[in-house]
C-alpha cells in the first residue's frame, strides 16, 4: 500500500485537511517528507512532546519559510534567553487585571456587532460572515487592545490585511507585507513613545513600560506590536468563521448554543468555546528545528531536521479525544493544541478566550439561526491561518 503523503497546499487538503491527517496518523504518524529533512507529526502526544521540549528551536524552525524576513525578530522566532525577555515584556498586557479593563469596551463592541447581524437577519438580508462581521470585528478588537485611536482604523485595516500573509510559511517572496509592516511600525512608534508620558490601559503602554524598564528595545517593541497584529487579527476572525461553519455542519448545535436554557444545552460557555476552537483551528501547524539527534514516536530525527507539529491533526487524535471528529459542545476533557503548548504557547489565548465567551454569550437567546447562503463559502488561499474569504449566510 502506498504511504500517505501530506502537502498543505494541495487543493483537496486545503479544503479539508482532516482525512489526510487521519490517514497519516494511522499509517505514518511521524512522517518524513520525501527528499527533505522535514517531519510532519500528527499524534497529540508527539506534537505536545516537541512543543514542550527545549531541544527544539523556534528561532530556526520559524525560518523554514519561503521568506523568513516576513516576520521581524520577536518572541515567536527566538529561543531563550531572548524569547524569555521579549515575552516577559508583553505578558502584562494579557494578565487578568488588564483583560478586565479590556472587557469594559470589548463586551459592548461585541454586543453592537451581534445586533448588526440580528438586524440583517430581521431584514431578510444574506450576510457574508467573513467580510461583514468576522474580519472588521477582529480588526477593531486588535486596535482596541493595542490602544490605537479611531483615526488610525482605516490605515490599520489596510496594514493588517497586507501583513496577514506573513504568517504563512509559503507566502510569496513578492508579497507586499514587508512595506506594510514597516509603515505600521512607524505609526506604532508614535503611539508607543507617547505612552511613556501618557500611560493608558492598553498594550502600547505595556510595551512602553517594558522599554522604560530596559526589557525591550524600541525596534523590538515595534516588532512585538507587529506580531500581535499578524498573529492576532486573522486568527481572531477565522476563529469566528471556522466555528460558525462547524456549527452549520452539525445540525442542531447552533440551537444548543443559542438556547442556553434547554436541558440539551449542557455545555458551559467555556466548554463550548474550547470545543469550537478545537474542531477547526485557525493555526493548523507550527515549526521547530531539532537541536540534536533524538527520537520522536520511534523515528530518528537528526540535528537540524525541521519538525512540524500539525496542531489540527493533534486535535482530532482519537487516542486523546473521544469521537474526535464530532463537534461536542459538552466535551469535558479538551486538551486541544489550538494555542500550541510549551514556552511559545499563544500569549494571546486569554484575550481570545474572553472574546470567544463574549461571542457565545451574544448567541445565547439569539432568535435567529444561520444556514448556508446562496453563494458557496470560499476558503482563503494560503496555509496559515486557515479561515474563510467568504462565508455567505441566510438567516431564519
Ligand atoms: C483564535 C485565535 C488564535 C489562535 C488559534 C492562535 C494560535 C497560536 C499558536 C498555535 C501559537 C504558537 C506558535 C508556535 O508555537 O510556534 C501562537 C503564538 C502566539 N500568539 Fe496566538 N493565536 C490566536 C490569537 C492571538 C491573538 C489575538 C494574539 C494577540 C493579541 C496572539 C498572540 C500570540 C503571540 C504573541 C504568540 C507568540 C508566543 C511566543 O512565541 O511565545 N494570538 N498563537
pLDDT at 259: 81
Task: Identify whether 21 is part of a domain.
Answer: yes
What is the pLDDT, as a whole number, of residue 263? 47
How many Cβ atoms sit within 10 Å of the Cβ of residue 353?
17
State in Å: Cα 141 to ligand 1 middle.
15
Domain presence at residue 6: no
147 - beta bridge partners?
Answer: none
**Overall number of domains in the chain:** 1
Please report whether residue 170 resides in a domain. Answer: yes
DSSP bridge partners of 39: 32, 307
Ligand 1 lined by 61 (C-beta under 6 Å): no
**In which region does residue 370 sit, left (phi positive, over 0), alpha (psi from -120 to 50) or beta (all else)?**
beta
**CATH number assigned to the domain comprising residue 266:** 1.10.630.10
What pLDDT, on the 0 to 100 scale, is given for residue 1? 44
CA 278 to each of CA 127, 183, 267, 299: distance values in angstroms, whole numbers, following the listed order: 25, 35, 15, 27
Question: Within a domain: residue 351?
Answer: yes
3 located within any domain? no
Model's pTM, two decimal places?
0.95
Please tell me the predicted confidence (pLDDT) of residue 260: 65
What distance in angstroms lies between residue 229's CA and the mean position of ligand 1's atoms?
10
Beta-bridged to residue 370, according to DSSP, are 395
Whether 4 maps to a domain, the answer reads no
pLDDT score, position 217 = 95
Quick one: which atom of ligand 1 is closest to the CA of 51? Answer: 15
Closest C-alpha to ligand 1, atom 39 = 344
CB neighbour list of residue 12: distance below 8 Å, 6 or more residues apart? 20
Q: Is the CB of 307 under 6 A from ligand 1?
A: no
Residue stretches of the chain with pLDDT short of 50: 1-2, 263-266
Residue 5 resides in a domain: no
Is there a domain that residue 229 lies in? yes
3 state SS of 118: helix
Q: Which of ligand 1's atoms lies nearest the C-alpha of 337?
A: 10
Q: Can you tell me the distance from the alpha carbon of 199 to that of 186, in angstroms, rounded to the nearest whole number?
A: 19
CA distance 98 to 366: 29
**Ligand 1 atom nearest to CA at 341:** 15
**What single-letter DSSP state applies at residue 310?**
B
**Residues 6 or more apart in contact with residue 263 via CB below 8 angstroms:** none
**Before 228, cis peptide (omega within 30)?**
no
What is the phi/psi pair of residue 56, to 5°? -100, 135
Residue 121: domain span: 11-395
Amino acid at each position: 500500500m502506498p504511504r500517505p503523503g501530506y502537502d498543505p497546499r494541495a487543493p483537496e487538503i486545503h479544503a479539508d485537511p482532516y482525512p489526510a491527517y487521519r490517514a497519516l496518523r494511522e499509517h505514518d504518524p511521524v512522517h518524513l517528507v520525501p527528499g527533505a529533512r522535514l517531519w510532519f507529526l500528527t499524534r497529540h502526544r508527539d506534537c505536545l512532546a516537541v512543543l514542550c521540549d527545549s531541544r527544539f528551536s523556534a528561532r530556526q524552525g520559524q525560518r523554514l519559510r519561503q521568506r523568513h524576513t516576513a516576520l521581524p525578530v520577536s518572541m515567536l522566532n527566538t529561543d531563550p534567553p531572548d524569547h524569555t525577555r521579549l515575552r516577559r515584556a508583553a505578558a502584562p498586557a494579557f494578565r487578568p487585571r488588564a483583560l478586565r479593563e479590556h472587557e469594559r469596551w470589548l463586551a459592548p463592541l461585541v454586543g453592537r456587532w451581534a445586533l448588526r447581524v440580528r438586524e440583517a437577519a430581521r431584514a431578510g438580508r444574506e450576510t457574508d460572515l467573513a467580510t461583514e462581521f468576522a474580519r472588521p470585528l477582529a480588526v477593531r478588537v486588535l486596535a482596541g487592545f493595542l490602544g490605537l485611536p479611531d483615526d488610525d482604523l482605516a490605515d490599520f485595516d489596510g496594514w493588517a490585511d497586507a501583513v496577514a500573509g506573513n504568517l504563512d510559511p509559503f507566502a510569496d517572496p513578492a508579497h507586499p507585507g514587508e512595506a506594510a509592516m514597516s509603515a505600521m511600525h512607524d505609526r506604532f512608534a508614535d503611539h508607543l513613545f507617547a505612552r511613556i508620558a501618557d500611560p493608558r490601559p492598553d498594550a502600547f503602554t505595556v510595551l512602553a513600560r517594558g522599554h522604560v524598564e530596559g526589557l525591550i528595545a524600541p525596534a523590538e517593541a515595534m516588532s512585538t506590536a507587529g506580531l500581535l497584529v499578524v498573529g492576532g487579527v486573522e486568527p481572531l476572525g477565522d476563529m469566528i468563521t471556522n466555528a460558525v461553519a462547524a456549527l452549520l455542519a452539525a445540525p442542531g448545535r447552533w440551537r444548543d448554543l443559542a438556547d442556553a436554557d434547554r436541558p440539551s444545552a449542557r455545555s458551559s460557555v467555556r466548554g463550548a468555546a474550547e470545543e469550537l476552537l478545537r474542531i477547526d483551528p485557525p493555526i493548523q501547524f507550527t515549526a521547530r528545528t531539532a537541536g540534536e539527534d533524538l527520537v520522536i514516536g520511534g523515528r530518528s530525527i537528526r540535528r537540524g531536521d525541521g519538525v512540524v507539529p500539525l496542531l489540527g491533526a493533534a486535535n482530532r487524535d482519537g487516542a486523546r479525544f473521544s469521537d474526535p471528529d464530532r463537534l461536542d459542545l459538552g466535551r469535558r476533557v479538551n486538551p486541544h493544541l489550538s494555542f500550541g503548548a510549551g514556552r511559545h504557547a499563544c500569549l494571546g489565548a486569554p484575550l481570545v478566550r474572553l472574546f470567544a465567551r463574549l461571542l457565545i454569550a451574544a448567541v445565547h437567546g439569539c432568535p435567529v439561526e444561520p444556514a448556508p447562503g446562496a453563494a458557496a463559502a470560499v476558503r482563503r488561499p494560503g496555509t496559515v491561518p486557515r479561515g474563510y474569504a467568504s462565508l455567505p449566510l441566510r438567516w431564519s
